[in-house]
Structures are given as C-alpha cells and as structure tokens.
Amino acid sequence: MKRFTAGAKLFFSNIKNILLFEAVYNLAANALVIPLLRAVLNASIRIAGYRYISNRNLLEFISKPSSLITILFILLFASVFTLFEISAVVYLFSSSLEHKKTRLGDMFFIGADSCRRAFSKDNFQVILYSMFVLPLSKLSVMSHIITSAGIPDIISYYAVRKKSVLLIYIILASVALFLFIRWIFSMNYYVYEHKSFRISRKKSACLVKGNFFKTLIPVILWEISALLIFIAAAFIFSCIIYLLSVKGIISKGSAVISYISRIVLSGFSFLAVPVIFSFVCTQCRCASCGISGDFFPKILQKPALSIFYAVIFIAVALNIFYSYETRKNGTGIKMEMFNSTEISAHRGDCRHAPENTIPAFELAVENKADWIELDVHEALDGTVIVIHDNNFSRTAGLKRNTWELPYSEIVQLDAGKYFSKKYRGTKIPSLEEAILSIKGKAKLNIEIKPNAHEKNIEKSVVEIIEKYGVENDCIVSSFSANSLKKIKAENPDIKTAYLMSMAAGSFEDIIYADALSINSAFITKNLVDSVHSCGKEVFAWTVNTRSEIIKMYDYDVDNIITDNPAYARNVIESSASGNIFFRMFMYIFYSI
C-alpha cells in the first residue's frame, strides 16, 4: 500500500508538467503523425495497384515488397514515437525522485535524444521492445494506430477459428508479458542514467530476478486501481448527463453535448503512460534502494487520500443506483442523439425459425427487426428463390443444385423438418412471396450469390423489386462487384451494398455501392468514419454477442446484421437506457 501511495504522490506532484507535455504530444500525434501514417498506408495501397484492401486482395497486397516496407515503416515510426513519450515521462519522474525540477523543454529534449540513441548498435533493441511489447498494453497514443487498423480484431478473429493461430497468439502474448516485466525497469536506466539498453535490460533483469510475481502483481493491481478511478470519474460524468436530461437541458438533437462529452473523456485517455510509469519509477527506486517508499515528500496527506477514495466509493454507489433506476424506468434521454443503428435479421430470425423462410421473416418482424436479410438464387425456370446455399442438401435434405429444379418441384421440399417438428412442411419461398410477407413491415437486404448457372439473376431481382414498388425499402448486396454494377445498370436508384470480409484503404472509387457490408471482426471506429466520409453506410455482419453488439453500436455502424434480432434489440435498448455513459466511454476508448 505504501508503494501505491508513493506512486500516486509522484504522479500528482508532477501533474502540471504531465498535462502540458501530454497535451502537446497528443496534439502532435492526432493532428500530424497519425494522419501522416494513414496517408503513407493509403499511398502504399495505391502503389500496390489497389484502391482499397479487402479479403480478396489482402494476401496479394501483403506479399508485395512495397507493402512490407510500408508496414515495417509504420511499426518503426509508431514505436519511436512511443519511445519519445515514455522517455520524457520516465525522465520527469526519475528527476522528481531525486528532488530535481524538470522543465517542459527538458522533457522534449530527453525524448528526442532517447530516440536518437535508439539507432545505435547497443540500443536498437529498445525500438523492438517498444514495437512488440508496449503497444500490446495500449499504453501510448501511437498504439492506437495499430488498434485502429483492426490488427487486434484480425488476430482474435482468426484465433477463435484456428487452434494453431490461437496457440501462436497465446505464446507471443506470454513472451511479451514476460519480457515486459523482466525489462520493466530498463527504461529508467536507459533514460535517466544514460546507460545502453543492453546494460539497462540486464540491470532490470537483475532486480526482477526471483521477484517476477512480486513485480507483476503490484503492476496489475496498480493498473486496475487506475482503471477504477477512470471509471469512477466516468460515472460521475454520467450522473451529470443524467441530471441534465431530467431537467430537460439535453434535447433530442443535442450534438453539442455529444461533442463535449467526447472532448472531456478524451482527456482521461492520454494520461495512460504517466499513470503506469509513475508506479514503475516508484517500484524501480524502491527495488534498487531496498526501501519501502516512505522517502517521498508528503504531497498528499491522509485526509486528502480519504476524501479521494470516498469520492470513488460514492461515484460507484451512485452509478449502481443510477443503472438500477434507468433499467427500471429509463433515462428519459432520447438516444437518437448518439446514433440510429438499425437491426437486420440475418436470414430472418434464424435462431428461432428455419432460415430464409416466411416464418423466420414474420418472427423477425415481430421481434422488431428493421431489416430482413435474405439470400437469393435462380431456379431452373428462372424463378428467384430465397435460399442461402446453391443446393438443397443442408436445409431440405435433397442433394440437388438450385439451378437443376423448377420452382414447381422446389415448392414441394420441406425446409423446416430439420429445424424442428413445429416447422415441418415449411416451404422454400420465392422472392416475390418473401416481399409480400415483409412489405410495409420491414426493409429488405437481398443478397445475390451469383454463379455460372444464374446469368440473369440481377435483372430478375430488379424486375421483382420494381414490380412490388420496394425500390426505397430495399438494398441489394453481394460479394460480386459485377453483380452490383449490373443492378445499378438496370436501376441506378436501387441501393447496393458491397460485401467484404475485411476492408482498408480509400473507398471513394466503389461507386457501384451505396454501403459496405463488412465482417464485424474487422470493423473499427476509424473505418466507420472513413466509410461515412465517402457518403456510404456501414453494415456489420454477423453480430451475435452482447459485447460485439454494443461495440458496433458505439462505433456508429448504420446496420447490425444478427441471427437473433430480439436479443440485439434488447441489448441496444438496455445498454442505451441503462448505461449511457459506459457506451460513450467505450466509444472513445476504442476510437482514439
């Protein structure tokens, strides 16, 4: 506890310099460095001969020498910029422990000098340390360029699907954690004592040797404590928002409040590096001197600390009460002020009824789905039928392809017997039947899955849409750019969505699509903003877990495609009314 108090004292005794330095550093990062690196990445995409990156061209893009050079450059630049921040902060705290005053200019000079020294033979490993260890803990603003590119999401996406990838990920994460703790004090020696990083990491390893868990556990507890303080401050702000809404100060269209909340909450995030390294410097001093931490000047007296902890306790208690009341009675806040994400039922309500059938569509409408997503193929006689696969094996038990049977035979198949007894006799509907059951109740997302046997499906779909007058209540989606171009050629007023497993780059040239429908694992806040800036919407698929639903909602995607529309609606409504601030907090945490 004494070291925790000492770390807090060290942090608050230097709060002025911390705020000034981090303000300038973050301003430079957000206004200059991050846009520059994004421009470099976009330039690399163009040099490689692409306008954007999707699942279809990702491997080709990465295999090009120019792309590899660009990726390495971005990682190197981000690591050096991270090193600059950490060096400046470590120097400030180390000087303070020696009771020496540090000017703001000194911090910038030391940061620059540390980066310069990093390119020598004995010090280059400090860049690798910064590159592979520090960004994993999301400590610096520069790590956000890694997360904003969706790299953690890409790793998790493949990790849960391939055991080999998961194993590699666990091993790398374990090694990174081990090195982070083993070399945790190396920055103190490298920056303040001007030692080479080779010597610095050896000195750090000596201090940690035999005390690995004694070093690890306090660091974890310190970060948890800092996070709780962060959340407590966030909860206080949520109470203020709530009180303003009760008094009618916040209106439905109050974009100003949303903007102000983002500015206020962004202020907390840039203190991550000073918070963690105030404790690391304290630990290093105590470990190297064999003292408990009592040598610090008494900046925070016990009464002040008591008040500080009392505020945290009260804030948490208020949030519990607030969450209970709002879940019971609602907030009174019109959540449209934050976004208006709609819900699509993937193949209808396919969790509770046979997919792509009339019962699934009707149940989805009953469960408040805004859209019905369905798949279409063309039968032997040209009838457009609603089915996901291009054969009937999985849903109806018949090993025949969709283009081999006329609709008169298809309608005899049972699409419900494999789902449950309740739905025995459910037939595979035509697109016309589906539209008749949905029209006026929900909008349609019609996915075309073209193959060599269905040459006229785009024209047939357009004719059906026009026949029933649902041009303004539907969107046609496909993984095939050619299919979307054919739709636009037939009727340019019909909206289209380009399906992508992943996306990066510039999307202005995708003129044949009004929206991008992207695998949710690869969606980031920056990606959503980029697509929106091109005047296109973002559809996220397939989103089924609570955490993913909330994340997509907070990212401000336009449409969430889910297998369980009732659950998604409940998650959004309860999250929106029961914990307004938590959504705002996560929105900012992931987007900065």
Helix (H) / strand (E) element for 225: namely: helix 212-246
Most confident of 285-289, 307-311, 339-343, 562-566: 562-566
Torsion of the alpha carbons at 250, 254, 255 and 257, rounded to the nearest 10? -10
Percent of the chain with pLDDT over 90: 36
Average pLDDT along the chain: 79
Statement: residue 9 has pLDDT above 80: yes
- Residue 114 near residue 124 (C-beta atoms within 8 A): no
- pLDDT score at 337: 40
Model pTM? 0.58
Statement: residue 264 has pLDDT above 70: no
Size of the chain, expressed as the number of residues it contains: 592
Helix (H) / strand (E) element for 353: namely: none
Q: Say how many C-beta atoms besides its own lie within 10 A of residue 375's C-beta.
A: 20
In the DSSP assignment, the letter for residue 412 is T
Most confident of 218-227, 412-421, 496-505: 412-421
Give me 184's structure tokens: 């945790």
- Residue 429 near residue 436 (C-beta atoms within 8 A): no
Most confident of 228-232, 316-320, 478-482: 478-482
Angle at 474 between CA 469 and CA 478, to 5 degrees: 130
- Residue 456 near residue 378 (C-beta atoms within 8 A): yes
Q: Span 10-15, mean pLDDT?
A: 88
Domain spans of the chain?
2-329, 342-591
- pLDDT score at 518: 93
Rounded-to-integer distance, Cα 399 and Cα 405, Å: 11
507 CB-side CA count, 13 A: 27
Rounded-to-integer distance, Cα 354 and Cα 342, Å: 23
Q: What DSSP letter does each residue of 311-325 carry, written as one string?
A: HHHHHHHHHHHHHHH
Statement: residue 269 has pLDDT above 80: no
- pLDDT score at 268: 53
- pLDDT score at 266: 52
Q: How confident is the model at residue 433 (pLDDT cuts 50, 70, 90)?
A: very high
Q: How confident is the model at residue 256 (pLDDT cuts 50, 70, 90)?
A: very low
Instruction: Classify the C-alpha dihedral 484-489-490-494 as positive or negative.
Output: positive
- Residue 522 near residue 156 (C-beta atoms within 8 A): no
Nearest residue to 115 via CA among 231, 234, 216, 33 = 33
Rounded-to-integer distance, Cα 306 and Cα 311, Å: 9
Helix (H) / strand (E) element for 503: namely: strand 503-505
Q: How confident is the model at residue 301 (pLDDT cuts 50, 70, 90)?
A: very low
Please list, in sequence order, all residues whose beta carbon lies within 8 angstroms of the beta carbon of residue 522, skipping any fewer than 6 positions away. 150, 153, 154, 157, 501, 502, 503
- Choose, from 144, 346, 352, 377, the residue flagged as catalytic: 346
Region of poorest pLDDT, from 69-83, 182-196, 299-313: 299-313
- To the query of whether residue 346 is one of the catalytic residues in this protein, the response is yes
Q: Does domain 342-591 have CATH number 3.20.20.190?
A: yes
- pLDDT score at 161: 54
For the chain, what is the largest distance between any 2 Cα atoms, rounded to a whole number of angstroms?
89
Q: Span 145-162, mean pLDDT?
A: 49
Question: φ and ψ at 530, to 5 degrees?
Answer: -65, -45
Each residue's pLDDT tens digit, 372-408: 999 999 999 999 999 999 999 999 999 999 999 999 9
